[in-house]
Amino acid sequence: MRLRYWTLSDKPLPAWPQLDTFELREAPIPSPAKGQALSRTIYVSLDPYQWRYKARGIDVPGQPCHARTVSQVIESRIEGLAPGDFVFNTNGWAEYGLMGEGVPRPGYMVPRKIDPAQGKISYALGALGMLGLTAYAGIILQCEPNPGETAVISAASGGVGQLAGQFARQRGARVIGIAGREEKCRYVTDELGFDACVSHLSPSFAQDLADACPRGVDVYFENVGGKVFDAVLPLFNQDARMTICGLIAHYGEDISLNPAAEEKARAEARRVRVQDLSVGDYVESWHDAFLREVVPWVASGRVRYREDIREGIEVIPDAFVDMLKGENFGKTLVRVSYDPSL
């Protein structure tokens, strides 16, 4: 029996991914050693940070591209994990993968069992997983929005953005989203309940944003950078808070550049408190508290969440490129095998 996986091709890495940047290969399905388990990948998460893994040489040709995944255990030699269990793990862009002791995989994360009673198992890659914890850490823990303050969320219809804005609303803030197509802006206001949403595609984008924030900006959740940050910058109130989650507008640039440091300096010159966001800093200390608060929000519908699910391992490169271009609508996932929980 063999598995299929996507890896980087041997071609020089471009500034921005192309379809021929990746190559679909086959390999034998491995058997787990003592302290390991074999799992079948169900959902692959596609996220902007993965391109940085490739640009920085963390992903290498011949090995499966890194990704967080939801999988089902097939064979286990790990105490506490049994065949049939659903797990959050890091199989990457592959149909099967090993987890446990001695698994040499870039970006490897300790597997965590998923309870389907808490929500759809795919949510472990989104609202109830690292994505949700990212939004929670950035908005709730770092930016600390207060009732009546104005919070601006860039990439507001994306996986992290849609959650960050709704979490800010749960704290009583007035929330303004920034998105692209009109369809996305309508979703942000009509479905997610943001107070307003402006399009960065509008020729009057900067003025539109200023009009939506008549009392200035107290909290900014940064996912984009570039012209979006330039429009937010003059609106900051004194002692505003900003978290830098991502800078997708700069992902095609030379990796030696440091746009985050430039943004931080420009914002701090306006007396803004700026923090970089690394979700790994919050996993051990905040994951359980995050689930205790957010699971009821999602279950009750107080927090809504949209997924953009593509089908089949063959489409992963196309879906990845679409996501980086903003052609996705919601959290981008690829379902590579049958989901028995549905």
At 180-234, the pLDDT tens digits run: 999 999 999 999 999 999 999 999 999 999 999 999 999 999 999 999 999 999 9
The average confidence (pLDDT) of the chain is 94
Question: What distances in angstroms separate CA 247 from CA 48, 68, 134, one per listed residue?
Answer: 9, 20, 15
Give the integer Cα–Cα distance in Å for 152 and 173.
10
Give the integer Cα–Cα distance in Å for 200 and 84.
45
All CATH 3.40.50.720 domain ranges in the chain, comma separated: 130-280
Mean pLDDT on 248-272: 83
Task: Name residue 60's amino acid.
Answer: V
Top mean-pLDDT range of 99-108, 153-162, 210-219: 210-219
Mean pLDDT on 295-322: 95
Measured in Å, how far apart are the chain's first and last C-alpha atoms? 26
Question: What distances in angstroms separate CA 340 from CA 86, 88, 108, 121, 133, one per listed residue?
Answer: 10, 15, 25, 10, 26
Q: What is the pLDDT of residue 318?
A: 96
Q: Is the pLDDT of residue 257 over 80?
A: no
Q: How many CB atoms lie within 10 A of CB 183?
A: 11
All CATH 3.90.180.10 domain ranges in the chain, comma separated: 2-125+306-335
Q: Is the pLDDT of residue 249 over 80?
A: no
| 2-125+306-335 homologous superfamily | Medium-chain alcohol dehydrogenases, catalytic domain (3.90.180.10)
Q: What is the pLDDT of residue 108?
A: 85
Helix or strand (DSSP H, E) at 261: helix 259-268
Mean pLDDT on 172-185: 96
Give the integer Cα–Cα distance in Å for 164 and 159.
9
CATH of domain 130-280: 3.40.50.720
